[in-house]
């Protein structure tokens, strides 16, 4: 009897304990930047915010790129969506908005505390049907980075047109140099090339309508530019390193940084990895994939995308969550972000000579010269068609698919999904 | 032995109480979800959507018409056949050799430990390391082939649609053969030593002893290992996902990876449940075959 009494009293105290200590509002926050540099920034930012607002408790979690795609779906399905969560722009983010899982930020972002923070190019890919569903935090772009020493050895210069580019590749190949490092084992790498070529060969309005399944059924994915784009991708096969389909992107990048190949197509957010590597000593620069004469698409779109944070539709703490995101995207915090992580924040004025390396600054400036961004294909196309392209990126290299066959399959899958929308 | 009276109410109640927690656990975490899964396979929905559309058998029709299903099933069957060969036949042979007193005790135990070690490594670690080892040009396997003058055998093992799944299967054999061998060594030790000595006195050769004494003697273990291996091959997911994610170009898909991708990349959870249900019924059939075979003994 005594033991029962003590036991109950203990449990009652334990239950009361947390509630007594608590008058804080909890905001849950999930992002995909677990790298030490990024965590350094985010942990400092959370601590600074909690010091400013002692009534708010930010519970933060970070998961890497691939596992993030699994985790967010599990959380959505089990209805445990964090108040603030990361998303890529384009279709990846749109599908959350389409199913009503995101908080509409249109009004909030029109407020005075958000004015002049983000460019239209960063905000637009995070809109669905005119409504803002995401706040951009990073912009990213993809460039062909090259090893200056190797280029100088063979008297090569940055190509102006795609034909110049092919000549350049031929020169390297005939001199026994592996022209381009390429790791397509995780097939998103191929979609970056293919996405860029689609943007160059297919008129922008046709392409975006196709991606979002807004085209008329008889015209969906029928533009001949798509096939030309895939043929162009296939033509690069002989200039990639051997066994690209078996090589992880990171391994290919390591090989490029060690000076074993002349070039690699990498993202602006990977530029910070160069200092300290063999590539830094050899000297390096970059160019956007050059224009294709006679192609029908917009030659001045740059492959890249913003990414950012979304708020859950079911959140009870929208005001606090927005305040926190406003805090971490403020000009001072954004400059700190760029300095600490080397990434390109979407906040206007955060990437300057003081905060970023020359290369990153140049990368962002080149992005600002573009007419817009061609978003990552695997996050922009509807999922079923994107899956076909993901597999095709590997199959076109191994000879197991033809450009016509791939587009026919893409069209078939797209039509199936279109009828359900 | 005292004669058994029929259990009193109190006795059977106690018995039920002992079993209740485990039963509850099984119902909540195994049988319940399995039945829920069968129910979900009749719907079409994604992780994001908040409604489920009833589609009846449409998911099943789509699955059986999907060429990837055939690819996956074929790969699972290849997995099962190769695994049975290595993990039953080869592991048993290794165990017999190590138990045959050919090597000094110390050496036999060292070999057993070395062959057993891969099985304690996490599957993800094994997958990632072998991915690097098998990488073209950079990987040690490729470098070794060239160094040994076998350069013409060099290829992108995980990047070639013809070899990808087999490379993954072989890594799996590397990981588990030692473990199964250790199990067989225990089974062989249970065979009375005198029988071995009798056969040796008669002048029987190694292979004859193996087939006439070791194999029948370890019969029960062989059956269990075969069933576990086949069931494992049906359910395999992690090693394939880590090494190739079903690629290149879907050549190394297995039912497990198809199911995972349907749920977590394609956002078609109903379809994923369909694949899971099919795996469940194939496994159930294999399991029932095992029970029948054991009963026959």
Highest mean pLDDT among A353-357, B127-131, B133-137, B287-291: B127-131
- What ipTM did this prediction achieve? 0.79
Residue A22's pLDDT band (cuts 50, 70, 90): low
- Contact assessment for residue A391 and residue A191, using Cβ atoms and an 8 Å cutoff: no
Q: Is A415 exposed, middle or buried (CB count within 10 Å of its CB: 0-12, 13-18, 19+)?
A: middle
Does the distance separating the beta carbons of A69 and B265 come in below 8 Å? yes
Tell me, yes or no, whether A146 and A134 share the same domain: no
CA of A180 vs chain B CAs: smallest distance (Å) = 14
Residue A355's pLDDT band (cuts 50, 70, 90): confident
Q: What is the DSSP string of B216-258?
A: HHTHHHHHHHHHHHHHHHHH--HHHHHHTTT-STTTT--HHHH
> Residue A362: helix, strand or coil by DSSP?
helix
Going by C-alpha positions, the residue among B165, B158, B123 that lies closest to residue B139 is B158
User: What is the spatial distance between Cα B194 and Cα B196, in angstroms, rounded to a whole number?
Assistant: 5
Asked if pLDDT for residue B217 goes beyond 60, the answer is yes
A4 located within any domain: no
- The average pLDDT across A85-93 equals 91
The total number of structural domains in chain B stands at 1
Does the distance separating the beta carbons of B269 and A77 come in below 8 Å? yes
- Contact assessment for residue A56 and residue A320, using Cβ atoms and an 8 Å cutoff: yes
B182 located within any domain: yes
A416 touches chain B (CB under 8 A): no
B289 located within any domain: no
B17 located within any domain: no
Going by C-alpha positions, the residue among A405, A392, A379 that lies closest to residue A86 is A379
pLDDT at B3: 59
CATH of residue B194's domain is: 1.10.3720.10
Does the distance separating the beta carbons of A100 and B159 come in below 8 Å? no
- Contact assessment for residue A308 and residue A345, using Cβ atoms and an 8 Å cutoff: no
User: What is the spatial distance between Cα B25 and Cα B30, in angstroms, rounded to a whole number?
Assistant: 8
User: What is the spatial distance between Cα B120 and Cα A44, in angstroms, rounded to a whole number?
Assistant: 39
User: What is the spatial distance between Cα A180 and Cα A184, in angstroms, rounded to a whole number?
Assistant: 12
CA of B50 vs chain A CAs: smallest distance (Å) = 8
DSSP count for chain B of H helices, then E strands: 16, 2
Q: Please tell me which of the candidates A99, A248, A251 has its beta carbon nearest to residue B48.
A: A99
- Contact assessment for residue B119 and residue B175, using Cβ atoms and an 8 Å cutoff: yes
Q: What is the DSSP string of A202-216?
A: S-HHHHHHHHTT-S-
- For testing contact with chain A, the best of B52, B68, B157, B159 (most A CBs within 10 A): B159
Asked if pLDDT for residue A20 goes beyond 50, the answer is no
Does the distance separating the beta carbons of A394 and B247 come in below 8 Å? yes
Tell me which of A322-331, B149-158, B174-183 is least confident. B149-158
Asked if pLDDT for residue B212 goes beyond 70, the answer is yes
The total number of structural domains in chain A stands at 2
- From chain A, the residues in CB contact with B156 under 8 A are 242-243, 245-247
Q: Of A344, A367, A390, which residue sits at a domain end? A: A367
pLDDT at B202: 85
Tell me, yes or no, whether A272 and A361 share the same domain: no
Give the domain extent around A126. Answer: 24-139+305-367
B179 located within any domain: yes
Percent of chain A with pLDDT over 70: 95
Specify the residue for token string 């992002």. Answer: A31
H/E element, A261: strand A261-267
- From chain B, the residues in CB contact with A251 under 8 A are 132, 135, 138
Tell me, yes or no, whether A359 and A405 share the same domain: no
Going by C-alpha positions, the residue among A361, A359, A321, A358 that lies closest to residue A345 is A361
Tell me which of A200-204, A408-412, B18-22, B197-201 is least confident. B197-201
pLDDT at A2: 67
pLDDT tens digits, one per residue of A133-174: 999 999 999 999 999 999 999 999 999 999 999 999 999 999
């Amino acid at each position: 009897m005594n033991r029962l009494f003590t036991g109950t009293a203990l449990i009652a105290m334990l239950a009361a304990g947390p509630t007594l200590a608590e008058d804080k509002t909890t905001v849950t926050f999930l992002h995909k930047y677990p790298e030490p540099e990024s965590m350094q920034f985010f942990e400092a930012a959370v601590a600074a915010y909690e010091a400013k607002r002692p009534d708010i408790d930010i519970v933060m979690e970070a998961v890497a790129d691939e596992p993030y795609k699994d985790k967010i779906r599990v959380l959505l399905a089990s209805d445990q969506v964090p108040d603030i969560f990361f998303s890529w722009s384009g279709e990846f983010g749109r599908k959350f908005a389409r199913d009503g899982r995101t908080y509409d930020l249109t009004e909030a972002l029109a407020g005075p505390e958000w004015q002049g923070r983000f460019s239209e190019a960063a905000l637009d890919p995070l809109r669905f049907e005119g409504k803002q569903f995401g706040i951009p935090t990073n912009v990213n772009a993809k460039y062909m980075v090259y090893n200056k020493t190797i280029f100088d050895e063979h008297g090569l210069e940055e190509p102006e047109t795609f034909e110049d580019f092919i000549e350049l590749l031929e020169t390297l190949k005939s001199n026994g140099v592996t022209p381009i490092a390429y790791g397509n084992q995780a097939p998103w790498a191929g979609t970056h090339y293919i996405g860029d070529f689609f943007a160059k060969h297919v008129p922008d309005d046709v392409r975006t309508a196709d991606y979002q399944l807004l085209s008329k059924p008889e015209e969906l994915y029928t533009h001949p530019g798509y096939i030309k784009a895939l043929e162009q991708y296939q033509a690069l096969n002989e200039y990639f390193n051997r066994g690209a389909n078996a090589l992880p992107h990171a391994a290919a990048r390591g090989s490029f940084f060690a000076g074993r190949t002349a070039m690699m197509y990498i993202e602006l957010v990977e530029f910070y990895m160069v200092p300290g590597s063999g590539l830094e000593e050899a000297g390096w620069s970059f160019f956007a994939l050059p224009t294709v004469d006679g192609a029908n698409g917009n030659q001045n779109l740059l492959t890249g995308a913003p990414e950012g944070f979304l708020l859950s539709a079911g959140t009870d703490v929208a005001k606090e969550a927005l305040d926190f995101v406003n805090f971490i995207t403020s000009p001072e915090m954004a400059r700190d972000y760029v300095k600490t992580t080397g990434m390109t924040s979407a906040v206007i004025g955060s990437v300057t000579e003081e905060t970023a390396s020359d290369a990153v600054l140049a990368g962002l400036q080149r992005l600002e010269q573009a007419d817009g961004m061609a978003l990552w294909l695997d996050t922009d196309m509807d999922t079923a068609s994107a899956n076909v392209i993901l597999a095709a990126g590997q199959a076109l290299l191994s000879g197991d698919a033809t450009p016509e066959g791939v587009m026919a399959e893409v069209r078939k899958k797209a039509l199936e999904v279109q009828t359900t929308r | 032995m005292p004669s058994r009276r029929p259990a009193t109410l109190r006795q059977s109640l106690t018995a039920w109480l002992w079993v209740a927690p485990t039963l509850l656990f099984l119902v909540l975490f195994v049988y319940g979800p399995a039945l829920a899964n069968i129910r979900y396979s009749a719907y079409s929905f994604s992780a994001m959507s908040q409604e489920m559309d009833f589609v009846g058998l449409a998911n099943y029709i789509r699955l059986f018409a999907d060429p990837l299903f055939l690819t996956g099933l074929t790969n699972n069957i290849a997995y099962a056949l190769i695994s049975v060969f290595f993990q039953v036949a080869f592991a048993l042979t290794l165990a017999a050799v190590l138990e045959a007193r050919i090597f000094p005790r110390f050496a036999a135990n060292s070999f057993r430990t070395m062959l057993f070690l891969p099985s304690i490594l996490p599957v993800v670690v094994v997958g990632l390391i072998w991915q690097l080892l098998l990488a073209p040009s950079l990987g040690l396997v490729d470098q070794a082939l060239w160094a040994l003058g076998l350069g013409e055998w060099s290829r992108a093992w995980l990047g070639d649609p013809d070899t990808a799944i087999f490379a993954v299967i072989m890594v799996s054999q590397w990981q588990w053969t030692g473990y199964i061998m250790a199990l067989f060594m225990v089974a062989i030790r249970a065979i009375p030593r005198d029988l071995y000595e009798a056969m040796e006195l008669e002048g029987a050769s190694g292979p004859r002893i193996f087939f006439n004494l070791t194999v029948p003697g370890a019969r029960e273990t062989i059956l269990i290992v075969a069933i576990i291996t086949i069931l494992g091959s049906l359910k395999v997911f992690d090693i394939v996902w880590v090494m190739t994610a079903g690629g290149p170009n879907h050549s190394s898909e297995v039912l497990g990876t198809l199911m995972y991708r349907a749920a977590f990349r394609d956002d078609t959870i109903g379809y994923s449940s369909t694949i899971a249900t099919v795996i469940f019924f194939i496994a159930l059939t294999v399991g029932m075959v095992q029970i029948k075979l054991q009963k026959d003994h």
